[in-house]
Structure 1
Amino acid sequence: MNKQVTEPNEWQARTKKNTFKLGMWTLAWVITSAIAAFAPRFIWDFDTLLTVIGVLVNVCVGFGMIFANKRYLQGLDEMQQKIQSEAMALSLGVGLVLGLGYELLEDIKLIGFEPEISHLVIVMCITYGIGIIKGGAKYR
């Protein structure tokens, strides 16, 4: 579907445009996440309909972010795609293994608190960042 890019300036312009769009979708998703998380308590006093609408809007914007990320990745060169792919695979694997282990610790009562998804998100983000750095160094 993507036409072959022959000019470096055209590729750079497209990458910059895709990066900007991904950034805007990500910002919109973060904002709608904050609204869905905090507005029921601080703005509309736990109104169920407004809360459901807020979560649905957040999910829809999240899918927009996913599609923007897909376009961004498709626009990268092969080396950058490989770095991204390896970092994402590492992050997914670590997230899955550690997330399930974390949940098991709570299930068998070795930790006295309920695991939070935010902890898993932080671990996955750190792992992804490490994967990007290692991939950049590996293919340099």
Structure 2
Amino acid sequence: MKKALDAICVKGLPKRDIKNANRVNLLTLLWVITLMISTYLAGEGMLTSPIALTIAIVIHVIVGIAMLLSYKHFLTQLDEMERKVQLGALALAVGVAIISFSSYSILEEATTLPPLNTAYLIALMALSYIVGIFKGRLAYR
């Protein structure tokens, strides 16, 4: 149990890595918030103006780019072991997304399922990534 808690709480990582991870987490949260707000406003018909739509998209893209650059910086600063954990988690998330999306597409074409809601795919990737991080930290710590 202690090993699992240490994996969740990133115990053993240098302060620099924790600071970088917190920056990535904050920017990811901001990106998700911009996605939620923009999606809500679009669904309520509040982004019908080209200017309002452009502003929403630009803010979302800028926060997304900042998140990606922060994650890249985070990865370059990590030690080899934690980088391996991150790579494994990314591979799991991408693999799960590709397999799930392609399988769902087949079922959708067969008219078994309704069209895919992309929010579910993003959530599935995020959850797969979290599982990969947890699994990797348990294996290497």
Q: TM-score, normalised by structure 2?
A: 0.79
Gaps of 5+ in 2: 1-12
Q: Is the 8 A contact 1:40 1:47 kept in 2?
A: no
Residues in 1 aligned to 2:22 and 2:111: alpha-carbon distance in whole angstroms: 45
Partner of 2:127: 126
Q: Per the alignment, in what secondary structure is the counterpart of residue 37 of structure 2?
A: helix
User: What is the CA-CA distance between 1:110 and the residue it aligns to?
Assistant: 1.9
**Greater than 3 Å deviation, 4+ residue runs:** 40-45
Partner of 1:56: 58
Residues in 2 aligned to 1:16 and 1:137: alpha-carbon distance in whole angstroms: 17
The alignment covers a number of residue pairs equal to: 129
Q: Per the alignment, in what secondary structure is the counterpart of residue 132 of structure 1?
A: helix
Gaps of 5+ in 1: 1-10
Q: Look at both structures and tell me which one has the larger radius of gyration over its CA atoms.
A: 1
Residue 70 to residue 136, structure 1, CA distance change in 2 (3 Å): same
Tell which has more relative contact order, 1 or 2 (C-alpha 8 A, sep 6+).
Answer: 2
Q: Is the 8 A contact 2:47 2:53 kept in 1?
A: no
User: What is the CA-CA distance between 1:43 and the residue it aligns to?
Assistant: 8.5
Q: TM-score, normalised by structure 1?
A: 0.79
User: What is the CA-CA distance between 1:29 and the residue it aligns to?
Assistant: 1.3
